[in-house]
């Protein structure tokens, strides 16, 4: 075992998969210069053929990545920040998500898009989005949002080995997290949530940067006599319905914490699933803790209160228990 940060875990996953499979290469804006800290040392180790800086032309290099994947390579396309998926939207939706279906399974699309979410850092409206709910609506894409160094490494490695397209939404509020990970090779199956804390009174399902707040809320609630079960969703598509429904069947109450905007959110989809498939288990209304339906301001004073916090999750759980 050794201790790594969230960023170091991503770097290890990239390096190990490039060592393991010569078809894996990285491309994107400034990847050779390690601008955000996840690609350090890779250009020196693998050269510029496999660590390729691109122009500021997202539609172009995402399309090039799609073409490379269709002819047998395994590209990891670094979007630099998550909102830069928007200029490449047509390539992602019309080509990457649909090609396997359109060609009757004759074409595979083993491509990973890394989409770091830099919210909560004064990046204002254009650069602070958490756009995974938009892509959740598009068939053909797998979406993951690891919330720990252990998951970041294991899920990214699994994504790179997957024959389907995966978008990895990396939450930059978690980059300072540290934990121990195995020295040996490991992968984490996509589509499986993780029960981080067992409980019997209320289920708290959390995603991405909301997970540490949910765990802290679970600790605080325990001190007040409320037993909270905390689930780290980890995978958005496929979504682990069984783990969520089994927990709600046990607790009878559900709080969902999601850093994205509340309208059309992952929190909304989970709420709909439980309302439809687990209704008779519920003892109280489902409560969503998510970002209001508004653009993100530049001012830290205005931005900071928008996202899920430990206090908001605790209050939601207490309302569910009332």
**Can you give the CATH number for the domain in which 121 is found?**
3.40.50.970
The answer to whether residue 35 scores a pLDDT higher than 90 is no
Q: What is the DSSP letter of 279?
A: G
Q: Are 191 and 239 in contact (CB under 8 A)?
A: yes
What CA–CA distance (Å, rounded) separates 18 from 80?
19
Kindly state the tokens that stand for 87: 């200029």
Which residues does the annotation mark as catalytic?
127
The percentage of the chain sitting over the pLDDT mark of 90, rounded to a whole number, equals 99
Q: Does 26 lie in the same domain as 152? A: yes
Q: What is the pTM of this model?
A: 0.96
Average predicted confidence (pLDDT) for the chain: 97
**Beta strand extents in 9-150 (DSSP E only):** 24-28, 51-53, 74-78, 112-117, 142-144
Q: Are 88 and 58 in contact (CB under 8 A)?
A: yes
- Single residue among 142, 160, 181 that ends a domain in this structure: 181
- The enclosing domain of 269 has a CATH number of 3.40.50.920
What CA–CA distance (Å, rounded) separates 284 from 278?
12
Q: Does 49 lie in the same domain as 152? A: yes
What CA–CA distance (Å, rounded) separates 220 from 227?
10
Q: Does 226 lie in the same domain as 150? A: no
Chain Cα centroid distance, residue 32: 24
Average pLDDT for residues 38-49, to the nearest whole number?
A: 95
* Model pLDDT, residue 301: 94
Could you tell me the residue range of the domain that residue 72 belongs to?
Answer: 2-181
Q: Are 39 and 32 in contact (CB under 8 A)?
A: yes
Q: Does 166 lie in the same domain as 48? A: yes
The answer to whether residue 214 scores a pLDDT higher than 90 is yes
Give a yes or no: residue 269 inside a domain: yes
Give a yes or no: residue 187 inside a domain: no
Give a yes or no: residue 174 inside a domain: yes
Query: In Å, what is the CA distance from 270 to each residue of 6, 163, 235, 241?
Result: 26, 26, 12, 8
Give a yes or no: residue 119 inside a domain: yes
Residue range 304-314, pLDDT digits in tens = 999 999 999 99
- Single residue among 155, 181, 207 that ends a domain in this structure: 181
Kindly state the tokens that stand for 234: 């980890």
Average pLDDT for residues 131-160, to the nearest whole number?
A: 98
- Single residue among 132, 154, 181 that ends a domain in this structure: 181
Give a yes or no: residue 186 inside a domain: no
Give a yes or no: residue 188 inside a domain: no
């Amino acid at each position: 075992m050794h201790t790594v940060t969230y960023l170091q875990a991503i770097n290890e996953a990239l390096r190990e998969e490039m060592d393991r499979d010569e078809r894996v290469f990285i491309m994107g804006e400034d990847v050779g210069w390690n601008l955000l800290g996840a690609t350090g040392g890779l250009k020196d180790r693998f050269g510029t053929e496999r660590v390729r800086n691109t122009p500021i032309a997202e539609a172009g290099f995402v399309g090039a990545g799609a073409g490379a994947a269709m002819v047998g390579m395994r590209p990891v396309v670094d979007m630099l920040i998550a909102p830069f998926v928007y200029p490449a939207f047509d390539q992602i939706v019309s080509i990457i998500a649909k090609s396997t279906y359109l060609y009757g399974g004759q074409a595979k699309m083993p491509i990973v898009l890394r989409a770091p979410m830099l919210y909560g850092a004064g990046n204002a409206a254009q650069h602070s989005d958490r756009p995974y709910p938009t892509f959740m609506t598009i068939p053909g894409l797998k979406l993951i949002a690891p919330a720990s160094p252990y998951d970041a490494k294991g899920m990214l490695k699994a994504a790179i080995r997957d024959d389907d397209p995966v978008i990895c939404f990396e939450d930059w509020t978690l980059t300072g997290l540290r934990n121990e990970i195995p020295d040996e090779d490991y992968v984490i199956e996509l589509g499986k949530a993780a029960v981080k804390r067992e409980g019997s009174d209320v289920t708290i399902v959390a995603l991405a940067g909301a997970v540490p707040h949910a765990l802290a809320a679970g600790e605080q609630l325990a001190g007040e006599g409320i037993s909270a079960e905390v689930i780290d969703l980890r995978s958005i598509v496929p979504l682990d319905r069984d783990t969520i429904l089994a927990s709600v069947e046990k607790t009878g109450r559900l709080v969902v914490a999601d850093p994205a905007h509340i309208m059309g959110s992952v929190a909304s989809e989970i709420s709909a699933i439980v309302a439809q498939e687990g209704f008779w288990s519920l003892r109280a209304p489902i409560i969503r803790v998510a970002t209001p339906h508004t653009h993100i301001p530049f001012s830290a004073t205005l931005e900071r209160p928008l996202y899920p916090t430990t206090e908001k999750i605790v209050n939601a759980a207490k309302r569910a228990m009332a």
